[in-house]
Structure 1
Amino acid sequence: MIDEETIRQRAYELWQKSGEAEGSPEDHWRQAREELEAEQGEHSEMNGSQSSPTSASAIGAQTGPDPDAEPADSDIPGQQGS
């Protein structure tokens, strides 16, 4: 959730960029809130992909051979699998 002070600061910046025009402060407030929510959503998505269990490092760690597993007959030189 975005706090009111952050929205207020963004709305003020938007007002300044508009040339400090007289008008509806509610429009700047709404635009500020929508921009900040969109940025927050993008940030969350980016962080989520970094900690995803399907990341390359997690996949590599999960697909390696089990060092404690018994070798199959086909893994032993001179042995043929049945």
Structure 2
Amino acid sequence: MGRNLYILAGTLLIFAMVSFGVSYTNIAQQPGSPGDTSLWRTMGLALFFLSMVISLAAVLSSLFEQAERHTDAERRQRRNKR
């Protein structure tokens, strides 16, 4: 599950970078395009924050999975010694 969360966080980070890029280029000022620069920046910040929260969840998920595997291995070793 951690790997999927890393992929999601990376994708959201790419979208955040694109949103920031659009806010600083002329694309936002072209006729017919959503030209509210502050909207693009706000969307970029929201996507960046969401990406960081999901990456934190991915790290914690990976740590708990590793601790669970380690605990299971210790239990198996104790059972084999008996």
RCO higher in structure (CA 8 A, sep ≥6)? 2
Counterpart secondary structure, 1:37: helix
Compute the TM-score of the two structures, normalised by the length of structure 2: 0.51
Q: Offset of 1:50 from its aligned partner? A: 1.1
Stretches of structure 1 lacking an aligned partner (at least 5 in a row): 1-6, 72-82
Query: How many residues were matched structurally?
Result: 60
Q: Alpha carbons of 1:8 and 1:53: their partners in 2 closer, same or farther (altered >3 Å)?
A: closer
Stretches of structure 2 lacking an aligned partner (at least 5 in a row): 1-15, 30-34
Confirm or deny that 1:50 pairs with 2:57.
Answer: no
Q: RMSD of the alignment, in Å?
A: 3.3
Overall identity of the aligned pairs, in %:
7
Contact 2:23–2:37 (CA<8 Å) still a contact in 1? Answer: no
Return the structure number with greater helix share.
2
Measured against aligned partners, the alpha-carbon deviations of 1:4-61 in whole angstroms (never above 9, x if no partner) come to xxx7874124666xx7132321111100000011111111111111111774422313
